[in-house]
Structure 1
Amino acid sequence: MTSALITLPKAELHLHIEGTLEPELILELAARNGITLPFPTLGELREQYEFADLQSFLNLYYANMAVLVTAEDFADMTRAYLSRAKDSGVRHAEIMFDPQAHLFRGVELATAVTGIAEALASSEAEFGISTGLIAAFLRDAPEASALEVLEELLAMGAPIIGIGLDSAEVGNPPSKFVRLYKRARAAGLRLVAHAGEEGPASYVWDALDLLGAQRIDHGIRSVEDAVLVKRLAKEQIPLTVCPLSNVRLRAVDTLAAHPVVHMLATGLNVCINSDDPAYFGGYLGSNFQALVAEFDFDADTLATLAGNSIRSSFATPARKSELLAELAVWRAHQD
């Protein structure tokens, strides 16, 4: 099944590029940029990768960003992800980055955008992966800051296809960002938002009704609200679920306790993603492998998950048709 999982054509729709910084690359970039880290050896750094909750992860996540200084750093990080994504069978990736997190530490917006965009521009030719870039805004920062950064991104012609909402969820409801999403919608951008990971199911309602989100990142706590589940199933609103992330951040106790099987059984439009794979124990292929090992997913279920990811993407209709045709070929070879 391992080789079949690798060849399974799929899209990754919930991926934070800063969350792909592997410890080895962190130390390499620190040395290149003359940065002293609080955990200077590989062993000491790896010891920090046990998290009690979302906030304990975010503390390390933002601290490690200090090594990203130049456009070259951002490009190297992005290419490293694309190489690993190719090894997982990813054929289309919609990648989030955190513009405010870099601005807050003194890195110009153009530096981050230029470096990431440079790598994405050649991703299809170099890795066979079509891509899109999403600017994710920090929900624990003021909306005014997000609006200012969005205007700067639009003014510079940044190659973003949409906006998202991430970082500390509890206590930072979607209602804080109504103006931001209204502005992004007016600019023709796609709209996604993290909701229902640690925050309650009501955040999913608000992301849909107040922000107009077209896709919900995580959404696992939706299962706590039967009326919401019926709506999500009826409207086939995509939920970008990240199983290994949910386990590592204690959103679920174990993979066996993850609601993904129930979500599929109730007709929800679920796809599988890796979130911040350098921190959570695996890229997309590892997430699929863990699900197969835990739940014995068959070829039909895997094809459903992959098909959901492709159809839920913001890829062009032609690209979706191409990938769905590849998926049909893959499924035919599994019998």
Structure 2
Amino acid sequence: MLEDKDAIQELSFSHDGKKVVFDRCRNEGCQIQVYDLETGELAAYQSSKNERWTMGKYSDDGKKIAFSVIPVKPKGGLDLGNMQIAVMDADGKNYKKVTTGPGAKTSPTFSHNGKKILYAKAAYIREKGRTPAAQYDAWEINLETGAETQLTFCKYFYMGYLSYFPDDEHFIYWGDMPDEYEGVRMMDQSNFKNKMIELGKKGMNVIGVVVMKGREMIPRPYHFPPNTFAQSPLLSRDGSKMIYEKSQSGEFYLYSEDGNHRYVSGGGSINSAAVSPNGKLLALISVSLKINTYTILDGKLQQSLYLPCAPKKITNWSIPPKYKNIYKMIPEEASRIIN
């Protein structure tokens, strides 16, 4: 008998911070779902049978949603090598793929003016291994001209958490295990190390949290504590707040220029994280079964949303009496399909 599957991942907020957006996968397939934090309504964007939609992200004005489209192969399985970025009206109308060509394209995010989309693109699809794609770089598409531009040239093993700063020229991302820099491959260990040393002397690094302006790397915009590998940067809409994960711990901190970075929340197995556009809320998916939201100001738990299967799958599940009013079960099914 096939075990019932129900899991969530790929988290983001709506433009006004009143809803959370996430992928939800079950035995019958996957949807981009939208949960209203005020009313508890669950809605969904449903792809056709020959596609899977993932990684939904609303535009700043809330009028559009961008997402990745993965073709489903005729005999089953996902065709990651032909993923595209698509845009659709928030009400589900005017669906259009905006990128072309091969490559796994992930993590789309609108520029603040809505004229561009930043995304990560993998040049290599792996046949084996836990990570299905590699050699990621940042790309940008101009929605008015259709021009696609490569912005980084590092061939990362993993790349994510891309966001524009308010000027729509600077952007931030997290990159891990680059395979190349300025034409020197990592397998050429001596020369690659020298390249990294040269970068370090200029106050730059291609590993971890990186800030760029177009194709230009910005020297040390953030200073993290010693022995901290910062990752998963989350940027508020105005760029004034940056939340980062400390050294794969699942713990998220509010960055401060004075060095007093404040722990907000988290810890353990965190699958995805997001900050509300106004910089007031942090949301975390844990063990693919729960979404917790916290106020960044004081780190207090605001809501704990859980899948119906969570009580059975999470060891020692219990709802503390003082939190019973903020624990809310995500409905079994969406009450409406948006598109």
With the length of structure 1 as denominator, give the TM-score of the two structures. Answer: 0.30
More strand by share: 2
With the length of structure 2 as denominator, give the TM-score of the two structures. Answer: 0.30
More helix by share: 1
Radius of gyration: which is bigger?
2
Question: Quick one: higher RCO (CA 8 Å, sep 6+), 1 or 2?
Answer: 1
